[in-house]
Structures are given as C-alpha cells and as structure tokens.
Amino acid sequence: MPPPGLLAYSLPVTDPLLPPPPRIHALAGWRRALVWPLGLLVRAWCRTLRIALDAPARDLLGRIDRPAVFTLWHNRLFIAAEIYRRFRRGKHLYALVSASKDGAWLSAFFEVVGMRTVRGSSSRLGRQALHGLADKLQSGQDIGITPDGPRGPCYELKGGGIILARRTGATTILVGMHFGRAWRVPSWDRFYLPWPFSRITVTAEEWPAERLAQSDEPIGEMQARLLALNPD
C-alpha cells in the first residue's frame, strides 16, 4: 500500500489501459564527452561568484534533516547547483528533465555541474516522473522546481510543485536572488547570466506542508511571494 498522501501515484506503470511508456533518451560516448567542457566552464564561472545569504536563507539551507521542494524562477537557475555545493552539503538536488533527445543533453549537462535528474515531463512520462520525484523526497533528497518553466509564461506559477509537496508532506522553500551585475539572455524568460566575480544575494522563505493545506489559493499566494523575493 502506498504511503498516505500518495494515492494519486498508486496506479502501476504497467496498467494495460495506459499506452507503453515512451523511450528515455540518453547520451553516451563522444556525445556525452561534448558536454563536459561547457559544464566545467559553468562550474568555474560559478566559483568566482560572491554569493551572500541572508539569515533565514542560511538557516533553511543548513537544515538538511528533512527533504524540501526548492522553488525558483526559471531565469535564476544558473547558480542553483553552486548554491547547493556551498550551503547544503550532504544533500542532492534532483530536477525534472524531459525524456526527449534534447532533454538527454540537458540531463548530461546538469550532472556535470552538480545536479541530478528525474526524466519525464507533463506530456512525456508524466506519471512516472511524479513517481520519481516523490521517491526522491521520501528517500530524504531534495527536488528543484522552476514553476514557470520550461517554456513560460515567465513568472506565471504552475501548480505541479504544490501538488507534489501536499501529497508527500515535504516543505517548500521559495528561493529569491538579486544579481549585482548580470547579462540578460534574449530568451522567453530573459535568463540571468551573472558577471564573473559579481555579487548575488540569496533570500529564502519556507512554506511547510501545513501552510499549503490551509491556503485557499496557494498558487496565487506562492506566485506573489516568489515575485516579491525576486525583484527585477
């Protein structure tokens, strides 16, 4: 029997009424080797950054005795792995990445920079992806959610992370970042690329599962708080 709160995940993936799961694409050989130079460049770049945490953020990141759903806007994803490396040692951060061929490249890149992945998306391997994310939380690891990704609209929060937190009982940590100096990529979310050696201030706010359960409009409330933590 599944744990309480995970009944929505209880259908077996081999249910005869469901179509066969799509293939999970992966990189191997020389293709995988191509990812390493870019990944190592990003790691070296991030290590030059001066990352400052306010007191609540330092406290929340330092509490590694329980899993969390880390939630940040897609355009602030660049330094997520570096924040973990410096301030949340002993934990692994898992991100949901598409099972497609494009997702295979992104998954390989994430592994180089220090993040782990669960493969799938809302349209491909959706049920299996939710199973995988829930399993990581129940095993004590953290998951990372970009609630306006992967295609936007920018700063419009989708509710998948909220559903997952409610059903697993995991706490949610909203992450805010203010960049001293950064380039803005001409993408749908105007992705932030901080200047090397620049300063980034990180803030955080905790939303326990009880707060989500008591909220009548958790999506709107969480979106407003995440916007307040991330002024452009």
Expressed as residue numbers, the domain containing 92 is 24-229
**How many residues would you count in the chain?**
232
- Residue 20 burial (C-beta neighbours within 10 Å; 0-12, 13-18, 19+): exposed
Tell the residue number behind the tokens 């990812």, with chain if given. 35
Task: Please write the tens of the pLDDT for every residue from 115-169.
Answer: 999 887 655 446 777 788 999 999 999 999 999 988 899 999 998 899 899 989 9
- Between the alpha carbon of residue 61 and those of residues 23, 82, 172, the distances in Å are 35, 13, 12
What's the total number of domains in the chain? 1
Alpha-carbon span 58 to 62, nearest angstrom: 6
Has residue 99 been placed in a domain? yes
Confidence of residue 4 (pLDDT cuts 50, 70, 90): very low
Tell the residue number behind the tokens 């099972």, with chain if given. 99
Has residue 9 been placed in a domain? no
Task: Please write the tens of the pLDDT for every residue from 82-92.
Answer: 999 999 988 88
Has residue 3 been placed in a domain? no
Task: Please write the tens of the pLDDT for every residue from 5-60.
Answer: 333 333 334 444 555 556 778 878 888 889 999 999 999 999 999 999 999 999 99
Spatial contact of 133 and 143, defined as CB atoms under 8 Å apart? yes
DSSP string, 2-53: PPTT-GGG-S-TT-TTSPPPPP-----HHHHHHHHHHHHHHHHHHHT-EEEE
DSSP string, 189-223: T--EEEPTT-EEEEEEEEE-HHHHHH-SSHHHHHH
For 174, the 3-state DSSP assignment is strand
Instruction: Write down the pLDDT at residue 14.
Output: 43
Give the pTM: 0.85
Task: Please write the tens of the pLDDT for every residue from 65-82.
Answer: 889 999 999 999 999 999
User: How far from chain centre, in Å, is Cα 66?
Assistant: 16
Has residue 212 been placed in a domain? yes
Task: Please write the tens of the pLDDT for every residue from 154-210.
Answer: 999 998 899 899 989 999 999 999 999 999 999 999 999 999 999 999 999 999 989
Has residue 31 been placed in a domain? yes
Q: Which amino acid is at 4?
A: P
Has residue 14 been placed in a domain? no
Has residue 111 been placed in a domain? yes
Instruction: Write down the pLDDT at residue 97.
Output: 86
Question: What is the phi-psi region of residue 193: left when phi exceeds 0, alpha when psi lies from -120 to 50, beta otherwise?
Answer: beta
Tell the residue number behind the tokens 């609209």, with chain if given. 153
Residue of 5 and 213 predicted with greater confidence: 213
Has residue 171 been placed in a domain? yes
Instruction: Write down the pLDDT at residue 67.
Output: 92
